[in-house]
Structure formats: C-alpha cells, structure tokens
Amino acid sequence: MTALIENLEADHKRFRRYLVVFNEEVRNLAQSDGSDYVLLNQIATYFAGYPDELHHKEEDIIYARLATKARSRRVELRNLQQQHVELSQRANHFSDIVSMILNNEQLPIDKVVEESVAYRNILTAHMSGEEETLFRPARSLLNQDDWWDIEQAISNLYAEEINYEKARSVLAIETSLDKYLKT
Ligand SMILES: [Fe+2]
Ligand SMILES: [Fe+2]
C-alpha cells in the first residue's frame, strides 16, 4: 500500500513548490514590488486548509500505527506529529494576516516577512523529518495487515470526519495554483 505514501510525498513536493512562490510574493510585498495579492491569498488559504483537513489527518493514522512497530523511534515520531498543531496555527495565523493586508490594514511588514520565513522553515524541516522518520520506515516496517487497517481508518476518516465543503474548496485552489504555476 505504498500508494498512500506516494500521495503524501506528492503533497510534500507540491507544498515545497507553493512555498517558493509564497515567499517570493511576500518578498515582493515587503519591497512594494507588485505582489500578486490574489495568488498570495490563494496560497495562504491553501496552507491553512489542505494540510489540516486532509494531509495531516492521513499522516496521523500512519504515525499511530508506525509507533507500535518502531518503538525506538516513538519519541521522534510523537515530536514530529505534534508539529501538526503548530503548523496549523501558523498557517491559519498567516492566512488571517493576508486577509488583513487585503483589507488594507497597515501591518508591520518586517513581521509579516519574518512569519512567512518561519512558516516555510518549520514546514520544510517537518517534511524532511517525515520523509526520513515516517515515510521511509513505514515502507519497510509496516506489513499488509497494517496497511489494510490504515486504509480502513482512512476510509472511516473520510466517511466521518472530513469537511467536504472545506476539502472541495481547497482542492479547487490546488487545481488553480497548479494551472497557474505551469504557465
Ligand atoms: Fe506532517
Ligand atoms: Fe507531511
């Protein structure tokens, strides 16, 4: 069942691509150099919605199963998983900041840049940590039964927990961003 891991890895690739554009736009903003507010808002909304609603929830299920198989890595796994809370708070906070900018509120630009850089650094380090500590060991340590249970848990997640309206709107942003970044 490595398709699941492949999808999460593809998300990471996409997140990294969006982070580059996100930071470029924040830099343009800081230099009063014609930042694309619509694009900035789309990326901020995406990071405030997608990882939280879909990506992290799927990872959390794999974290829980892997922790039972890789006991020596338990603390490392728990620390990484706990970063989901901070990442979500930071992304939501940044999305609020972008909304304030769109509403012409005057904000200390240095602080905005600082927060965007911090978000990028934390998310980038988190993804690298996961690729090493979650994805790689999951591929080698989890067996068919584990993957079967994980798939079931994810099906339940989609049936019971996912906010479809929110998921649909962030996936629409993803399609729009991917199209934009290809041109
Ligand atoms: Fe994660
Ligand atoms: Fe991740």
Q: Inform me whether the pLDDT recorded for 26 exceeds 80.
A: yes
**Residue 71 pLDDT:** 87
Q: Inform me whether the pLDDT recorded for 169 exceeds 80.
A: yes
Domain that holds residue 45: 2-182
Cα of 52 vs centre of ligand 1, distance in Å, is 9
**Residue 121 pLDDT:** 94
Cα of 87 vs centre of ligand 1, distance in Å, is 9
Q: Residue 82 maps to which CATH number?
A: 1.20.120.520
Number of domains in the chain: 1
Cα of 118 vs centre of ligand 2, distance in Å, is 17
Q: How much of the chain exceeds pLDDT 70, in percent?
A: 98
**Residue 1 pLDDT:** 61
Cα of 126 vs centre of ligand 1, distance in Å, is 6
Q: Inform me whether the pLDDT recorded for 182 exceeds 70.
A: yes
Band (167; pLDDT cuts 50, 70, 90): confident
pLDDT one-digit tens code per residue, 28-41: 888 876 778 889 89
Report the C-alpha gap between 131 and 137 in whole angstroms. 9
Band (52; pLDDT cuts 50, 70, 90): confident
Cα of 129 vs centre of ligand 1, distance in Å, is 9
Cα of 51 vs centre of ligand 2, distance in Å, is 8
Q: Mean pLDDT for the chain?
A: 91
Q: From the CA of 14, which ligand is nearest?
A: 2
pLDDT one-digit tens code per residue, 109-128: 888 888 888 999 999 999 99
pLDDT one-digit tens code per residue, 55-111: 999 999 999 999 999 988 999 999 999 999 999 999 999 899 989 988 888 888 888
Q: What is the pTM of this model?
A: 0.91
Cα of 59 vs centre of ligand 2, distance in Å, is 7
Tell me how far the alpha carbon of residue 99 is from its chain's centroid. 19
